[in-house]
Homo-oligomer: A and B are copies of this chain.
């Protein structure tokens, strides 16, 4: 397989765009990526589009990529639509990489685009609830409802709001449980998670594409409204709209186009499994394959964009990605090692917590950040001397483990 380079990247600011369509934000990201690469859209030989939830938000299923791209005159070439929940555009980047690595095409667009905001908020939450085994979830919820009614008819106190409405915070319930488990096992504290959120919000304040650009102290993070202990609202990624795009090409083409190609050293997709005692989790399994594919160790990674859908996921991510031994995630944030200027900066873009998390756009937005950083074009949040970066983009859940994981390693 051939070496593949990223030669252009673009994104919209993440935010709330009730008056803009998927076509409109998609066009902005693609135009920016083409301009960044210095190529015309007519040079594209194929396109892979990641989107998770347009079907349930707007009714647009089936041919989302064609609908978005035709509007800007990108047509006739193969257009692949892919989804993997919050890892949809990590997956679209992987397939674009595969097209070029295989030798089939020389110049391919990877796009992630998502609109989660809808005038009817219930529709947004229902769409997010589709990132699980829906049939199984309906059975669980029906069981909970039956149990509640039984307790009610027995005169017992009803549960804490379980039932259909519960699904909106299901992912955060899962993260809260994982956080509490880590606290019990390793002495991690709520303050550790607050420090992660504070760091990422501070980083995001330096990023013009971030949805939220306020700075917060760890105390302010802890004092924001509780979602599910130890999570507070400022430790959770927000709902948002946005798009991000990259142009991938062969090494030969890249050398013609730029003196600063960024190479894809590893592109790995993993899926969840039914865990047995002693099994590695999906992040560790996928990262191990990525390090092997790239021929690097975690010590050689200069910066990371990881999937901090909630602050505890970042502490767990430090350990799962091998940035520190198990149980020492809290120490990493205490010692400032993952701040910009630390030994291994994590989420210099602000991460999902501050930059935002329009799910199908997140994976490529992470790669956009690594692309800028490795080119030395990240402005106020530049990580000095960064040569190798890693992205981790997870999605969905089946039987208690993430359903999909995309890991990419890029280097100068």
Contacts and interface: CB of A to CB of B under 8 A. Distances in A.
A134 interface: yes
Nearest to A69: B271
Contacts of A126: 59
Contacts of A127: 61
A122 interface: no
Interface stretch (A81-89, A187-195, A245-253, A378-386): A81-89
A329 B379 CA distance: 63
A284 interface: no
Given A63-B395, A63-B404, A271 B75 contact: yes
B98 A1 contact: no
Interface stretch (A29-37, A99-107, A146-154, A198-206): A99-107
As for how many copies of this chain the complex holds, the number is 2
Contacts of A52: 61-62
Nearest to A128: B62
A296 to B, nearest CB: 19
A84 B65 CA distance: 9
A81 B52 CA distance: 10
Instruction: For chain A, give the interface size range.
Output: 35 or more
B135 A66 contact: no
Contacts of A62: 52-53, 83-85, 88, 130-131, 395-396, 403
Interface string A42-85: 00001000001101101111110011001000011111111111
Nearest to A406: B78
A326 interface: no
Contacts of A396: 62-63, 66
Contacts of A82: 80-82
A84 B59 contact: no
A272 interface: yes
A334 interface: no
A42 to B, nearest CB: 12
Given A82-B80, A103-B1, A398-B70, A59 B271 contact: no
A186 B131 CA distance: 50
A133 interface: yes
Contacts of A132: 63
A63 B403 contact: yes
A331 interface: no
Nearest to A71: B133
B102 A59 contact: no
B78 A269 contact: yes
A285 interface: yes
Contacts of A103: 1, 102
A127 to B, nearest CB: 7
B80 A131 contact: no
B84 A91 contact: no
Contacts of A88: 62
A21 B135 contact: yes
Please provide the 4 A-B residue pairs with the shortest distance between their CB atoms, ordered closest to farther.
A102-B102, A55-B55, A78-B269, A61-B130
Given A79-B84, A98-B98, 5 more contacts: A55-B56, A66-B396, A70-B274, A75-B271, A77-B270
Interface of A: 1, 21, 23, 46, 52-53, 55-56, 58-63, 66-67, 70, 75-85, 88, 91, 95, 98-99, 101-104, 126-127, 129-135, 268-274, 285, 395-396, 398-399, 403-404
19 contacts: A1-B102, A21-B135, A53-B62, A59-B129, A60-B135, A62-B88, A63-B85, A63-B132, A67-B134, A67-B135, A75-B271, A76-B272, A76-B285, A77-B271, A78-B268, A79-B271, A80-B84, A81-B83, A83-B83
